[in-house]
A = this chain, B = another copy of it.
Amino acid sequence: MSRTPRPRRRVTLASLAAELKVSRTTVSNAYNRPDQLSPELRERVLNAAKELGYSGPDPVARSLRTRRADTIGLLLDQPLSYSFRDPAAVDFVAGLANACDAAGRALLIVPAAPEHEPGAAADVVNKASVDGFVAYSVPENDPYLDAAMERHLPLVVCDQPAGLDGTVRVGIDDHAAMLELARIVLGLGHRRIGILAMRLGDTKRDGSTTLEAALSSRYSVQRDRIQAIADAAALQPRPVAVTVIETASHTREAGARAAREALDEDPGITALLCTTDVLALGAMTWAAEHGIVIPEDLSVSGFDGTVDAMRADLTTVVQPSEEKGQRAGEILIALAASHGSGEELLATSIHHGSTIAAPRRQ
């Protein structure tokens, strides 16, 4: 085996230059400005580098000097392993990664801080060697987001929180999109409905909650969607009874449980409006297991437009999750120079599936 001789000491730009009896500038130029030295010399430098196991300028030292890491940081509101259970989040990350690839930037996923250690979130954010941050759907007053803002780096927020000044937000009009869908569903005549929602509060809890509580959640996306349903209900000629179920975790299983709880709470419910597709798919599974026919016995609607939802022909709002990631990345990268702020709202559409219908006559 021809193994490169393991150097006793670190090879650096300087040591390589010394070895070759040229200046450090020359070695640096060999890597960064090939036109600044003769091809032969460059060749000689690169060969010697390979020989000694030098793989080019140290990225950290270069970053320190150039004041850029060519890396953007991603802030999630929960450990990545949870986020990756959420297809919309996966799509978002994919889009963001796309934008990074195209611009030659790396994507740094900031680790989840150990819970209940004060200041831990700020620590991990402060340790990130990045040129800017993208925050994906974090709640208001999120400690990660607060720490990121303290760093005064370019920042793009996706979905929530809205209304942060000095930052750009990429998202959709959650209220308008859900209002349109809810009006369609309620327009079919449902008088008793259930809302299945994701986490609404600071602590994880499962089960029934009040509409008022839901409408004061720190998670504005959930809040807006629920508000839209409430608004649509208020627009109906006759009163609509609303039951709200909150789920601690965002899984199909939780959706199934929530569906059961909703119908336990009000057996007269004829439609479940879910704030996400994952919950809606869980509700559909639960219904199927209990001989409840969709949409004849129970209407179900979702939100997101995930691949699984489309496969199940769920009636839902389709939002461009991947495009959100892409735009967030592009904007952040553009922001590197020109500081700016604002908002970019992407279009949504409704997939008219086969999971809603008028309620049976009682």
Contacts and interface: CB of A to CB of B under 8 A. Distances in A.
A74 B94 CA distance: 15
Interface string A326-359: 0000000000000000000000000000000000
A190 B14 CA distance: 67
A249 to B, nearest CB: 15
Interface string A102-138: 0011111111101000000010101111000000000
A98 interface: yes
A59 B106 contact: no
Contacts of A69: 60, 129
B97 A79 contact: yes
Taken together, the copies of this chain in the complex come to: 2
A80 interface: yes
A274 to B, nearest CB: 19
A152 B4 CA distance: 10
A101 B111 CA distance: 5
A257 to B, nearest CB: 18
B108 A108 contact: yes
B93 A84 contact: yes
Nearest to A85: B94
Given A60-B63, A60-B64, A64-B60, A106 B127 contact: yes
A94 B95 CA distance: 17
B98 A63 contact: no
Contacts of A127: 59, 62, 70, 106
A296 interface: no
Contacts of A124: 104, 106
Interface in A192-215: none
B84 A101 contact: no
Given A84-B97, A129-B63, A108 B106 contact: yes
A105 B101 contact: no
A55 interface: yes
Interface of A: 1, 6, 53, 55-64, 69-71, 79-81, 84-85, 90-91, 93-95, 97-98, 100-101, 104-112, 114, 122, 124, 126-129, 147, 150-152, 165, 308, 322
